[in-house]
Homo-oligomer: A and B are copies of this chain.
Amino acid sequence: MKYSKATNYALHTMLYFMMAPAGKTIGVQPLAELQEISPTYLSKILTKLVKAGMIESTPGVNGGYTLLVPKEDVSFLRVIQAIEGNASLLHCDLGHVSAGCLIQETMAAAEQSMEQYLQEKKLVDLLQNFDQEHPQEHVARIMAAFH
């Protein structure tokens, strides 16, 4: 049981948006370079975030992606579900004679316990001490990518 790499990329990308001043735009290429992955692949991930309503894409020259919601509204859960979907952890299709599958119900409850944690945790919370913990040059390079 593992989350896909795409989820990791999406979370990191959204974290970059948390660092930028509101309304700023950034292209796929600088985002891809920061994470050292292919721009075309990252674009596929970003379209999922667009469909989830978290960011906006503007085509054309000087285009790119812009954060569309308040930073405080971006929870881990929201990003994860945008990529992974909201299917349940374990779906039991065995022929249970009567009543539902108790195992499935228990797993659903366990999943909900984790989702509650991920819903309360906002991405912007991670930036509390970011400046102190990371070299200034690195932070500057991220900020410079926005326009």
Chain B residues positioned under 8 Å from A102 (CB to CB): 126, 130
Chain B residues positioned under 8 Å from A73 (CB to CB): none
Per-residue CB contact flags for chain A residues 1-23 toward chain B (1 = under 8 Å, else 0) read: 11110011001100100000000
State how many copies of this chain the complex holds.
Answer: 2
Q: Looking at A35, A109, A117, which has the most chain B CB atoms within 10 Å of its CB?
A: A117
The chain B residue sitting closest to A123, CB to CB, is: B103
How far apart are the CA atoms of A108 and B111 in the complex, in Å?
14
Chain B residues positioned under 8 Å from A118 (CB to CB): 110
- Nearest 6 A-B pairs (CB), nearest first? A114-B114, A102-B126, A3-B90, A113-B117, A110-B117, A99-B133
